[in-house]
Amino acid sequence: MASKLLRTANRTLNVLQNGSKFAGVSVRKNSLWTKEGIIKSPYARVDVPNYTLYDYVWLNLEKWPERTLTVCARTGRGYTYEQAFNLSNAFAANLRQKFKIRDGDVITVMLPNVPDFPLIMLGVMAAGGVVTTINPIYTAHEIQRQLLMSDSKMIVTLPDKVNVVREAIKIAKLNIPIIVIKTNGDPIPEGTVAFNELSEDIHVDKSCLKKVRRTANDLCFLPYSSGTTGLPKGVELTHRNIIANCQQISDPAINCNEETTATHQDVAMAILPFFHIYGSVVVGFHEMAQGVKLVTLDKFQPEVYLQAIEKFKVNILFLAPPLIILMTQHPMASAKVYQYLDHVINGAAPIVATDAERFLSKVQRKIRFGQGYGLTETAPVVAMSPKTLYDYNAVGHPVANTDIRIVDNDLKNLGPNETGELLVRGPQVMRGYRNNSEANANVLTNDGWFRTGDLATVDDDGIIKICDRLKELIKVKGFQVPPAELEAVLRDHPAVSDAAVIGVPHATKGETPKAFVALKPGFSASPKDLCSFVAERVAAYKRIDDISVLESIPRSAAGKILRKDLKSKYC
CB 428 within 8 A of CB 248: yes
User: Whole-number mean pLDDT of the chain?
Assistant: 91
Q: What is the CATH number of the domain that holds 511?
A: 3.30.300.30
Assess whether pLDDT exceeds 60 at residue 303.
yes
Report yes or no on 382 lying in a domain. Answer: no
**Sign of the alpha-carbon torsion through 548, 549, 552, 558:** positive
pLDDT given for residue 468 in this prediction: 76
Assess whether pLDDT exceeds 80 at residue 248.
yes
Residue 237: which of 246, 228, 229 has the closest Cα? 246
Report yes or no on 413 lying in a domain. Answer: no
Q: pLDDT: is 25 or 113 the higher one?
A: 113
Cβ within 8 Å of residue 390, ≥6 positions away: none
For the chain, how far is it from start to end, CA to CA, in angstroms? Answer: 55
β-bridge pairing 193-194 and 403-407: unpaired
Cα 226 to chain centroid distance, Å, stands at 11
Which pTM was predicted? Answer: 0.84
Residue 516: which of 555, 481, 480, 478 has the closest Cα? 555
Collapse the DSSP code of 533 into the 3-class scheme (helix H, G, I; strand E, B; otherwise coil) and give the result.
helix
The CA-atom distances, in angstroms, between 515 and each of 230, 470, 485, 496 are 21, 18, 12, 12
pLDDT given for residue 473 in this prediction: 78
In angstroms, the CA 113 to CA 133 distance is: 12
pLDDT given for residue 309 in this prediction: 98
Assess whether pLDDT exceeds 60 at residue 274.
yes
In angstroms, the CA 314 to CA 73 distance is: 11
Residue 217: which of 235, 253, 243 has the closest Cα? 243
CA dihedral of 96, 100, 105, 106, whole degrees rounded to 10: -90
pLDDT given for residue 230 in this prediction: 54
The CA-atom distances, in angstroms, between 200 and each of 83, 94, 109, 494 are 10, 10, 19, 53
Residue 223: which of 280, 160, 282 has the closest Cα? 280
Total domains, the chain: 1
pLDDT above 90 coverage of the chain, percent: 78
Mean pLDDT of 47-69: 97
Amino acid in position 27: V
Report yes or no on 499 lying in a domain. Answer: yes
Expressed as residue numbers, the domain containing 536 is 472-570
Collapse the DSSP code of 564 into the 3-class scheme (helix H, G, I; strand E, B; otherwise coil) and give the result.
helix
Residue 153: which of 190, 101, 195 has the closest Cα? 101
Mean pLDDT of 330-343: 97
Q: How many CB atoms lie within 10 A of CB 172?
A: 18
Query: Residue 458: how many CA atoms within 13 Å on its side-chain side?
Result: 31
In angstroms, the CA 562 to CA 559 distance is: 9
In angstroms, the CA 269 to CA 258 distance is: 16
What's the pLDDT tens digit per position in 1-46?
434 333 433 443 333 233 333 333 333 445 799 999 999 999 999 9
Report yes or no on 562 lying in a domain. Answer: yes
Q: pLDDT: is 231 or 444 the higher one?
A: 444
pLDDT given for residue 478 in this prediction: 66
Strand partners, 513: 503
Q: Band of the pLDDT at 401, cuts 50, 70, 90?
A: very high
Strand partners, 337: none
Report yes or no on 488 lying in a domain. Answer: yes
Q: Band of the pLDDT at 380, cuts 50, 70, 90?
A: very high
Residue 132: which of 276, 279, 271 has the closest Cα? 276
CB 121 within 8 A of CB 92: no
The CA-atom distances, in angstroms, between 197 and each of 68, 70, 105, 190, 200 are 22, 19, 22, 15, 5
Q: pLDDT: is 538 or 231 the higher one?
A: 538
SS (H, E, C) 124-167: HHHCCCEEEECCCCCCHHHHHHHHHHHCEEEEEECHHHHHHHHH
Collapse the DSSP code of 112 into the 3-class scheme (helix H, G, I; strand E, B; otherwise coil) and give the result.
coil
The CA-atom distances, in angstroms, between 219 and each of 290, 445, 488 are 23, 21, 39
Cα 139 to chain centroid distance, Å, stands at 22
- As a residue count, the chain comes to 571
In angstroms, the CA 42 to CA 157 distance is: 43
Cβ within 8 Å of residue 492, ≥6 positions away: 354, 537
Highest-confidence segment of 9-18, 80-89, 341-350, 478-487: 80-89
Report yes or no on 497 lying in a domain. Answer: yes
pLDDT above 70 coverage of the chain, percent: 93
Report yes or no on 217 lying in a domain. Answer: no
Q: pLDDT: is 20 or 53 the higher one?
A: 53
β-bridge pairing 368-374 and 381-384: antiparallel
Collapse the DSSP code of 56 into the 3-class scheme (helix H, G, I; strand E, B; otherwise coil) and give the result.
helix
Lowest mean pLDDT among 186-195, 330-339, 366-375, 463-472: 463-472
CB 495 within 8 A of CB 520: yes
What's the pLDDT tens digit per position in 457-485?
999 999 999 987 777 878 887 677 878 88
CB 225 within 8 A of CB 231: no
Report yes or no on 484 lying in a domain. Answer: yes
In angstroms, the CA 106 to CA 435 distance is: 14
Strand partners, 519: 496
pLDDT given for residue 226 in this prediction: 53
pLDDT given for residue 31 in this prediction: 79
Q: Band of the pLDDT at 537, cuts 50, 70, 90?
A: confident
